[in-house]
Amino acid sequence: MEFIKQYLKIINYAMIGLVFAFASFYLLSNAYHYLEIRKDFITDFNSQPLVVDFETKIQNVKENISLFTTNNYNGNIPMNQMQVIYYNLKSCADSFENKTIQEMKGKNKITIIDVYRLRESYENDILSSCIINNLHWTTTITPETLNSSYLLDNQHMIQLYINSLKEETSYLKKDLLNNSSYFYNTSIASSSIKDNTKDGFYEVMGAYQKAASFVEFISNWFRNEVEGNYD
């Protein structure tokens, strides 16, 4: 009887030890995760090279489209089509000055939630409103629908570029959603949590810049069309 008692005692203490280890693991893992996702990226949003670059591109877009008036255009493309393209580009330029970007302008500290909001705004305002709604026609034109050899020649390249813009932040989205689980922190998971704020910020602003480059590319063609530099 005494032997069984001693044996049960060993099992019991081993079990308490196991619970102690589990609880310690969860507590430390949670504390680590809590501190990691609180990490901020201290930077002045307005002076970030990526931000400056995309804002310069959008400024160029505005300047390019401002040259167009119904009186000064004498090209091959019908006037109503040029007006539609003008409004498409104008709408695109406006979507880059969305609410999220305006809110970010005064900030000198980026949090993981800011990165998430920037990504959401990229998906809603830039991809959906600008690229898909206003500029996706560039991939579907034919010589019958739009008389522009320049755009027709570059159509395949534009299609590839738009496809890459669509997928630009999909990986970041998965990464950001992962930040809400501390479960079994592998080295890969912890490294992705560690740099999510800083890396995510660069990734999403890189996507903004890439989209701005595309809009600038179309606006450059528009300007040349207005000035009569293309066929």
Examine residue 171 and tell whether it contacts other proteins (CB under 8 A): no
Residues 114, 212: Cα–Cα separation, whole Å: 20
In angstroms, what is the minimal distance from the CB of 25 to other proteins?
9
Which helix (H) or strand (E) element contains residue 159? helix 155-167
Q: What distance, in Å, lies between the first and last C-alpha atoms of the chain?
A: 102
When computed from its CA atoms, the radius of gyration of the chain, rounded to whole angstroms, is 27
* Amino acid identity for residue 129 in this structure: S
Contacts of 207 (CB under 8 A, 6+ apart): 122, 126, 165, 168, 169
* Amino acid identity for residue 217 in this structure: F
Residues 184, 125: Cα–Cα separation, whole Å: 35
| Residue from 20, 44, 56, 84 in contact with other proteins (CB under 8 A) | 20
Examine residue 186 and tell whether it contacts other proteins (CB under 8 A): no
Examine residue 170 and tell whether it contacts other proteins (CB under 8 A): no
Examine residue 164 and tell whether it contacts other proteins (CB under 8 A): no
Under a CB-based contact definition with an 8 Å cutoff, are residues 181 and 96 in contact? no
Structure token pair of residue 172: 């970041």
- For other proteins, the closer CB: 148 or 179: 179
Contacting range for other proteins; rule: CB under 8 A; set: 63-71, 88-96, 158-166, 177-185: 177-185
| Residue from 96, 182, 221, 222 in contact with other proteins (CB under 8 A) | 182
Chain positions 26 to 65 lying near other proteins, rule: CB under 8 A, are 26-27, 30-31, 34, 37-38
| Residue from 179, 192, 209, 219 in contact with other proteins (CB under 8 A) | 179
Residues 50, 46: Cα–Cα separation, whole Å: 9
Chain positions 118 to 157 lying near other proteins, rule: CB under 8 A, are none
Size of the site for other proteins (CB under 8 A): 32
**Interacting residue ranges for other proteins, rule: CB under 8 A:** 5, 8-9, 11-13, 15-16, 18-20, 22-24, 26-27, 30-31, 34, 37-38, 111-113, 116, 176-177, 179-183
